[in-house]
């Protein structure tokens, strides 16, 4: 192993954090397996890192080994198939819900947006609304990335996984990944490495388009995106137009990485939208946005007394609604662009939900602003916002 001159300020998109004690970069799947097993055998603390766009590390750094995942590759799987709509899918792993899809296998370190670009270019629908999300493909199932009406859980067939406990590689089907809103078994303690991910995408002919150039998206599910495209919710649009519209929307909100735009120097949304009981939601002002949550899936509920979120593991429970964390923050009095004097951290000037590094911020600056936002929201509305990123050596 080699000691690392690289700090987390270099390795993460929020650009804070000291150095790891050691860093190993894996560029092939074999190296990734071998390195992980070696590091685990040492019994030292370890941390997986892809694009570093959902990770914040303390200024002291990390007293352990970082496994930096830089594997690459997009391919059709050996079980890939094209089945006309209406016909039964064939192939050992072909789930009926993905009948007629094309399965692509993507190595964990492949940048996610390259996968979206590949799909759009090849006339494959299903992930176009996830354009412009930074980071690696292996991290996409970890928090079930989502945006503009699509979630990666909708298209994941399975992941190839190196299990920390057994040291074995196994294929885990999507149904066993415990997907929920920004959640999966990987966020709930299943330790190991996602080596590759299989996605089922819808080929253009299934969307009634005649060629890749005019391939159509899945039905547009998000009103703001439908408006931008000039179509109704539920309509389809050309894949390339959807991708361009999403990228433009994201850029207007500072949600598209751009080194020249300090509003993008962060981790995207800093807090997850709270999921609360319907009865609690009724205590909020009438104009607070509320979105019904589809049950039954594992859901975290933030109790009123501020104790740790509880988990309802897919059982019949109270009706749940998702709130808008951005609305709660603004309604609590935090404005876009707000920063504590003397701190290098500030709320994005384009989006209340993003905490950004304006240049020279420390991880304490980031955590301090996050605590301030949490405290205001708690005192106004009685709930504690839960941070979205993976925190190393920091408490928020
Ligand atoms: C500007 C901006 C906009 C964003 N917009 C969105 C958005 O719209 N929607 C959304 O959902 N997210 C968004 N994000 C968050 C982030 O991009 C995603 O969560 C992304 O999937 C993180 O990928 P990464 O490779 O950078 O993860 P990292 O930060 O490297 O890792 C995140 C977590 O996953 C673990 N991990 C990484 N790779 C693996 C692997 N192969 N196997 C197992 N565990 C692994 C890490 O240990 C860590 O716990 C945004 C971030 C930024 C900076």
Contact predicate 108/136, CB 8 Å: yes
Question: What pLDDT score was predicted for residue 205?
Answer: 59
Q: What is the pLDDT of residues 197-210, one digit of tens each?
A: 999 999 875 444 44
Question: What pLDDT score was predicted for residue 95?
Answer: 40
What is the average pLDDT value for the chain, to the nearest integer? 89
- The yes-or-no verdict on residue 324 having pLDDT over 70 is yes
Q: What is the pLDDT of residues 56-85, one digit of tens each?
A: 999 999 999 999 999 999 997 744 444 444
What whole-number distance in Å separates Cα of residue 190 and Cα of residue 192? 7
Q: How far is the CA of 141 from the centre of ligand 1 (A)?
A: 9
Q: What is the pLDDT of residues 361-394, one digit of tens each?
A: 999 999 999 999 999 999 999 999 999 999 999 9
Q: What is the pLDDT of residues 208-262, one digit of tens each?
A: 444 555 789 999 999 999 999 999 999 999 999 999 999 999 999 999 999 999 9
> Is it true that domain 8-69 has CATH number 3.30.43.10?
yes
Atom 19, ligand 1: residue with shortest CA distance: 54
255 lines ligand 1 (CB under 6 A): yes
Q: How far is the CA of 151 from the centre of ligand 1 (A)?
A: 13
CATH no. of 74-252: 3.30.465.10
Domain spans in the chain, listed from the N-terminal domain onward: 8-69, 74-252, 263-392
The residues carrying an active-site annotation are 182, 269, 388
Question: What pLDDT score was predicted for residue 90?
Answer: 40
How many CB atoms lie under 10 A from the CB of residue 70? 18
What whole-number distance in Å separates Cα of residue 384 and Cα of residue 308? 9
Architecture of domain 263-392: Alpha-Beta Complex (3.90)
Q: How far is the CA of 106 from the centre of ligand 1 (A)?
A: 16
């Amino acid at each position: 192993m080699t000691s690392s001159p690289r700090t987390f300020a270099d390795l993460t998109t929020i650009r804070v954090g000291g150095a790891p004690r050691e860093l190993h970069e894996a560029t092939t799947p074999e190296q990734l397996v071998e390195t992980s097993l070696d590091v685990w055998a040492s019994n030292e603390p370890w941390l997986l890192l892809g694009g570093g766009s959902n990770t914040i590390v303390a200024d002291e750094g990390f007293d352990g080994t970082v496994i930096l995942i830089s594997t690459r590759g997009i391919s059709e799987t050996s079980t890939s198939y094209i089945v006309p709509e209406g016909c039964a899918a064939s192939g050992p792993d072909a789930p009926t819900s993905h009948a007629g899809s094309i399965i692509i296998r993507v190595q964990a370190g492949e940048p996610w947006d390259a996968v979206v670009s590949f799909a759009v270019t090849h006339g494959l629908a299903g992930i176009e609304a996830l354009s412009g999300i930074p980071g690696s493909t292996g991290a996409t199932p970890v928090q079930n990335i989502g945006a503009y009406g699509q979630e990666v859980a909708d298209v994941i067939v399975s992941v190839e996984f190196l299990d920390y406990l057994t040291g074995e590689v196994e294929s885990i089907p999507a149904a066993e990944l415990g997907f929920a809103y920004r959640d999966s078994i990987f966020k709930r303690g299943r330790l190991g490495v996602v080596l590759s991910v299989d996605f089922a995408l819808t080929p253009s002919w299934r969307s009634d388009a005649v060629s890749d150039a005019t391939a159509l998206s899945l039905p547009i599910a998000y009103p703001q995106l439908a408006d931008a495209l000039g179509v109704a919710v539920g309509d389809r649009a050309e894949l390339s137009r959807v991708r361009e519209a999403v990228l433009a929307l994201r850029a207007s909100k500072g949600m598209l990485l751009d080194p020249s735009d300090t509003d993008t120097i962060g981790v995207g949304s800093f807090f997850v939208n709270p999921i609360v009981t319907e009865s609690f939601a009724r205590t909020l002002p009438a104009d607070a946005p509320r979105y019904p949550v589809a049950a039954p899936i594992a859901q975290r509920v933030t109790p009123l007394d501020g104790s740790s979120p509880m988990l309802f593991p897919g059982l019949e429970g109270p009706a749940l609604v998702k709130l808008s964390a951005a609305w709660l923050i603004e309604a609590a009095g935090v404005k876009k662009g707000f920063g504590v004097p003397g701190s290098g951290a500030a709320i994005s000037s384009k989006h209340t939900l993003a905490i950004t590094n304006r240049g020279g911020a420390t991880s304490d600056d980031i955590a301090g602003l996050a605590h301030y936002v949490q405290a205001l929201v708690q005192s106004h509305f009685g709930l504690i916002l839960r941070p979205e990123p993976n925190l190393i050596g920091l408490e928020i």
